[in-house]
Amino acid sequence: MNRRWVALVLVFFIGAGCRSRTIWPGVEKVMSAVDAERSYDAVVELASPSYAGRRTGTPGESQAAVWIASQFKDMGLREPPAFKEYLSTYKTPLYVVNSFTGIKASGTRGESFLGDRGMAMPYAGSGSVEADAVLAGFGVQMTGYDEYAGLDVVGKVVVLLRYSAPTRSVPESQTYLAAKVGSAAAHGAAGVLVLDMPSAPNPFDMHGQFVSALPDAPVSALVSLTGARSLFWAAGLSFDDLAAQAWAGQVVSRDLNLKVSLGITASWTPDAPAFNVAGVLPGTDDTRPIMVCAHFDHLGTDRSGVMYPGADDDASGIAVMLEMARSIVSLGAIPPVSIWFVAFSGEEEGLLGSTAFVKAAPELAQSLSAVLDLDMMRSTSGLGVAVDQSEQTIMAAVSGAIQDGASLAIIPWTGGSDHETFSRLGIPNCMFAGHGREASWYHSATDTAEDLPAAALGTAARDVLRVLWGLIGSP
């Protein structure tokens, strides 16, 4: 009897061990576990008023982080080392605009008051300025192409165009709003106006607030297309003509013979608490993990009480990531490599969360074999995959997924989301996105869950899973 009992116990443990190492299944099995409605419910949750737009450093952001952590825990992901309840805290600057006087311009043709009609999101600084205005194009400085060359901007209001000329290979780091403000400040500007472009209009909040990572920045503002035209009218110039010349690659920098005044009162908290959230599915090989990530922060609520839900940007990415993780865990199998699922905050403020993550865990970051970043999943025709052609492993995985029926299209690599943080470290990466800044709901109060098809989230989850399976390979 005793020998038989021992034998049975051994059989049980051997069998249990075999079950814990279930053969890693084909991608069709995990794809069949994807629930589009469950993913949509996650978008509804994160885009709800409960989280007040999830602006980094605010209670809404921390509450959203706790909710995401609860999802990781419920589905059975492992809590990473040095994380507490799946959360990692870092400090972030929090800049809040309390009042804005509006923009007044006086020039050769007359006087123009832009007010909130032409003003979109005070961006940096606190105080008031009244000074001559100087146009410095896009504010780009490169070898053989310096839009500040020959300009005296000290003590003046520097007027800049958004983005950069598509005919020039300008590092995206120079196109960020914070970079434009910072460069103007380094040249001695007393104020900065960044103007929307006719060729790529991007209407922003007309009342609100935004963050600046520049504690001593000059008083600065983002101006709508209507406001830009009014500003240049006062200077006796055609904004559309100059903008078209700049878009074509011409240098349009000049004195504007225009006096501009504006004022902003704002509060500044340099070390507000912010959170990243992470869960891990351990694999048989933990030396070359893969990361699937998305950012959960958005623009918050403006000073007039308008909330920016951020359903697409990027509650949709979080929802797809959660659905992928839940579907994989449901397999009950150990993957060939460890898979990290990470929700970053601070993306809208300049990739602050992902930057804090790699600083806190440099060895982990350097060990990553690939990073798949999900940012804005709303699409009716499939996702674009921004990938560098030199990333042969990722290119092969994406191409294989497309051949197997995924609704994906390979597009040129571009920064602007958290995958860029890992690119700087030389880590293979790509970004999945349903569109770019051209979408009418981008950074708008109209980015709501009601307009986001649940089916698109299910398709996105299955398509990214195909790519992930191509990267994981066989045990």
255, amino acid identity: D
306, amino acid identity: V
pLDDT of residue 5: 35
The pairing of beta strand 111-113 with beta strand 127-135 = unpaired
**CATH code for 96-268?**
3.50.30.30
Q: Are 159 and 230 in contact (CB under 8 A)?
A: no
Cα–Cα distance for residue pair 119/137, rounded to 1 Å: 19
The pairing of beta strand 145-146 with beta strand 141-142 = antiparallel
pLDDT of residue 380: 83
Q: Which residues, 6+ apart, have CB-to-CB distance to 147 below 8 Å?
A: 136, 137, 138, 139, 140, 141, 251, 253
In this structure, which long-range contacts are made by residues 355-361, counting pairs with CB atoms below 8 Å and at least 24 apart in sequence? 355/421, 356/88, 356/90, 356/274, 356/276, 357/88, 357/276, 357/278, 357/421, 358/421, 358/422, 358/425, 360/82, 360/88, 360/90, 361/82
CATH 3.40.50.970 matches 22-78+282-472: no
Return averaged pLDDT per consecutive 10 residues of the chain, 475 residues in all: 37 38 86 98 98 95 98 97 94 82 91 70 79 97 92 97 89 81 94 88 50 72 88 95 95 96 85 96 96 96 84 97 97 95 92 95 95 94 95 96 96 93 96 88 90 95 98 77
Question: Among 176, 124, 144, 472, which Cα is nearest to 331's?
Answer: 472
pLDDT of residue 358: 97
| DSSP structure string for 235-246 | TT--HHHHHHHH
Domain with CATH 3.40.630.10 in the chain: 22-78+282-472
Q: Are 47 and 311 in contact (CB under 8 A)?
A: yes
Both structure tokens of 469: 């399976």
The pairing of beta strand 191-195 with beta strand 219-223 = parallel
Cα–Cα distance for residue pair 79/304, rounded to 1 Å: 39
Q: Are 339 and 349 in contact (CB under 8 A)?
A: no
Q: Which residues, 6+ apart, have CB-to-CB distance to 288 below 8 Å?
A: 337, 367, 368, 369
Domain with CATH 3.50.30.30 in the chain: 96-268
Q: Which residues, 6+ apart, have CB-to-CB distance to 247 below 8 Å?
A: 165, 166, 167, 197, 199
Distance from the Cα of residue 83 to its chain's centroid: 23
How far is CA 32 from each of CA 25, 329, 377, 463, 466, rounded to the nearest angstrom?
12, 13, 19, 12, 12
Both structure tokens of 335: 């993957």
Cα–Cα distance for residue pair 180/164, rounded to 1 Å: 11
Write down the pTM of the prediction: 0.81
The phi, psi pair for 29, rounded to 5°, reads -65, -45
* Vertex 449 angle, CA 301 and 383, to 5°: 110
pLDDT of residue 457: 97
Can you count the helices (H) and strands (E) in the chain?
13, 19
